[in-house]
Copies of this chain bind each other. A is one copy, B any other.
Amino acid sequence: MYNLLALKLQRFAALSQGDVDAVGQISRQSIRTTRARRDIIREGDTPHHVKLIVDGWAFRYKMLPDGRRQIVSFLLPGDLCDLNVFLLDEMDHSIGALTPVTYAEMPRDLIERMCDHRPAISRALWLESLVVAAIQREWTVSLGQRTARERIAHLFCEIFERLDTVDLAEDDRCEMPLTQIDLGEATGMTAVHVNRTLQELRREGLIVLNNRILTIPDRHALQRVAMFNPSYLHHHNPKWEPTPSAAMG
């Protein structure tokens, strides 16, 4: 059986077969689904489970009192949400489903127990949150310094790259279910300006985008425009191994 979470965590720490099995089990206990454009959890709610996105796209967002809304990150298959369970009485942001989403709910206490006995998993989860923070820093750079065109290009580069690591990109193509409104809320610009910026990128042959499929004819060209340096995604292999005793998964 496909073990998405193990696949992810192995990027951060070497897991024993036992670790892999434990992770596989916990992530298969309770599978749920949401329809597109529904909230999965809302600011102010108390989270009870850690969730693993199994299929579909979701996004984190925060709203200002006057209704302005900022998407602060996208959650793709293999991503965890609500590690905040361990931190918050209340969510300080919301998570919404962009497409229909399938996710696994992993009860807090089970995760906790697993962490207690499996240092590699505990460590991998921690590193995962460090990577999430690194991505958030790069978004800060985009919004603070990049122009409209650079922001959109950068977002496309990031998403493509992230989908690629979970085998959801094909050659030079990936899904792109975001509407222009979504793109605007993620890049801090209006939908109108997103529209004109997309046209510009299309006109220059940097992207092809229709029917919710994004094609990037020349990845390096787009990366150059975006000033995209993938190092912040830390898509590398584990650096750390516990005392080597158990076999690898």
Contact = CB atoms under 8 A, between A and B. Distances in A.
Interface of A: 12, 60, 62, 64-66, 68-70, 72-73, 83-84, 86-90, 92-93, 116, 119, 122-123, 125-127, 129-134, 136-141, 143-146, 185-188, 227, 231-232, 234, 236, 239-240
A87 B234 contact: yes
A188 B139 CA distance: 12
A88 B234 contact: yes
Contact of A130 (B72, B129, B145, B186): B129
B133 A92 contact: no
B65 A227 contact: yes
The number of times this chain is found in the oligomer is 2
B144 A70 contact: yes
A116 B116 CA distance: 10
A72 B137 contact: yes
* Interface of A: prevailing SS: helix
A130 B87 contact: yes
A187 B144 contact: yes
Contact of A87 (B68, B87, B131): B131
29 contacts: A60-B137, A62-B137, A62-B141, A66-B227, A69-B145, A70-B141, A70-B144, A72-B137, A72-B141, A83-B130, A84-B130, A86-B123, A87-B127, A87-B239, A92-B137, A92-B232, A93-B232, A125-B126, A126-B126, A126-B129, A129-B129, A132-B133, A133-B133, A133-B136, A136-B140, A139-B140, A140-B143, A143-B144, A145-B188
